[in-house]
Copies of this chain bind each other. A is one copy, B any other.
């Protein structure tokens, strides 16, 4: 069933080689566990899908929309890729599978699907790459539903090189979009961790951000205009560079989670491929000094595409992985010895810096950041050409951890610079306590890892993940309890719990605390106007 280019039905991408045993021994020690046993997922052949609830004559009405009712299509659209989604899929729980999947090839077919679903009162789940980390594409279990797979709509339809604007269909994936743009010397540069599988429409619907958003912008920055099919008809916006003719309605769709309409087409601010691109490594004595350098670089407007600062725990995990995979790498061993000599200890934090653009711009950015790093007593590791090969690796690691009885969950929060240090400390504290309270073995513990996901002049985003031994008999409740502790800590410390992942089903209970009851009422009114029967992606976004 797996073809290597698709995301796996119960995991990420093609199956990855598991790390060597030396890594597992290191990790078992870090978690205070005696060993990490194999916990393979259930095989596809052993799983029974829930029966199709919609009668055949109803499904027949969708026959012009590329409908599929086979098990594979249904399983592939049974949820996203949050930890809870994966725990359910690995356990063989497919109760959320849609009754069937539609594969429209044009906006008119999307509109037909919407009109039919509204008429027949069937939930419709817009589905791009299916990589949602917050339950954004999980069908309802208590009523019939259809998934609307947008990936057949995958063309760049026009390019205006003079203005730097490209228009593309919303189902196009990251690699395909960059391939079609690259053939004409242009690029978008939106590179979230899910880049290989996620789609343009998904990036917009969850208000996404990429690894190099400092240079290439968040979805809110590069989105110039869009077309959205709603049960009330096609909503369009103009592509003008800036307008004050009423509120900017693109903004209603950024973060709408597919609940207000189906994005069919978007006009994007693109740019020429950079003349030069460089990745460099730095090691800071601790997280605070690294954060200060990131903040200062952003404040000064120093040209760079990425400053990804890992905290000490994240740094140590990746060192352990690297040592296990390349035990005899001479360059790494020399670097390790040199860093020890310079006094870097277990608090050391790795930073990967990206510079891109014209040659002079790249050199200026690097020189400027070198100076900042020096002021903070950081060590330079030099060029890191291997970064691009591993930049989308994070979600793969989760699968191999799941295979060894562990859980890996994450949130991505944002906060002002003044709030961030307190938020980081509170989150680590809350997570460590929650994991200790929910381990399968007395004395065992979890790991909390963090890295900056983006930085702004006024604050930054932190990707915070946690690894812990699963309670195998009740791992869904365990995951939910630990995650709730993290969300509570963010709400208390004062930040946003979703920097770039949307709201989905998982965070909708948190909407009012960040947006006020009046804000939620305004959003609900928009939903009512565009989707009066509430067929679009029920149970997401709105509380």
Residue numbers of A with Cβ under 8 A of B are 160, 162-165, 206-209, 218, 220, 224, 228, 230, 232-249, 251-257, 260, 269, 271, 299-301, 303, 357-358, 361, 414-419, 454, 456-461, 495-503, 507, 510-511, 514-519, 521-526, 528-530, 541
Cβ contact within 8 Å between A207 and B244: yes
Would you list 27 pairs from A and B whose C-beta atoms are within 8 A, ordered by A residue? A160-B418, A164-B417, A165-B416, A208-B244, A230-B518, A232-B521, A237-B514, A238-B496, A240-B415, A240-B459, A241-B458, A241-B460, A243-B496, A243-B498, A244-B500, A245-B498, A245-B507, A245-B510, A246-B256, A247-B251, A247-B252, A247-B254, A248-B255, A249-B522, A249-B523, A525-B529, A526-B526
Shortest Cβ distance from residue A461 to the other chain B in the assembled complex, whole angstroms? 7
A218 cross-chain contacts in B, Cβ below 8 A: 242
A315, chain B: closest CB distance, angstroms: 24
Q: Are B524 and A246 in contact (CB under 8 A)?
A: no
Residues on the B chain within 8 Å of A240, using CB: 414-416, 459, 495-496, 499
Chain B, residue nearest A239 (CB): B416
Contacts of A165 in B (CB 8 A): 416, 418, 458
Q: In the complex, A53 Cα to B263 Cα: how many Å?
A: 49
Evaluate contact between A519 and B249: CB separation under 8 angstroms.
Answer: yes
A522 touches B530 (CB 8 A): yes
Of A238, A257, A260, chain B has the most CB atoms within 10 Å of the CB of: A238
Roughly how many angstroms separate A442 CA and B11 CA in the complex, as a whole number?
79
List the B side residues contacting A517 at CB < 8 Å: 233
Task: Knowing that A224-B458, A247-B255, A271-B299 touch, tell me 10 more A-B residue pairs with CB under 8 angstroms.
Answer: A165-B458, A233-B516, A236-B516, A242-B500, A245-B502, A245-B503, A245-B514, A246-B511, A246-B515, A524-B529
On whether the beta carbons of A237 and B519 are closer than 8 Å, the reply is yes
Q: Please tell me which one of the listed residues B246, B301, B459 contacts residue A541 in the complex, with CB atoms under 8 A apart.
A: B246
Complex contact B526–A522 (CB within 8 A):
yes
Q: Which residues of B contact A252 (CB under 8 A)?
A: 247, 251-252, 522
Give min CB distance, A220 to chain B, whole Å.
Answer: 7
Residue of B nearest to A459 (CB): B241
Q: State A497–B418 Cα separation when bound (angstroms).
A: 40
Residues of B within 8 A of A495 (CB): 240
Which listed residue, B249, B454, B497, B528, touches A515 by the CB 8 Å rule?
B249
Are A247 and B253 in contact (CB-based, < 8 A)? yes
Q: A530 contacts B518, CB within 8 Å? A: yes
Instruction: Decide yes or no: A516 and B235 within 8 Å by CB, A522-B530, A525-B525 being known contacts.
Output: yes
Contact A247 B239 (CB under 8 A): no
B242 lies within 8 A of A163 (CB):
no
Closest B residue by C-beta to A207: B244
Q: A496-B245, A499-B244 are in contact. Are A417 and B163 (CB under 8 A)?
A: yes
- Is B248 within 8 A of A251, CB to CB? yes
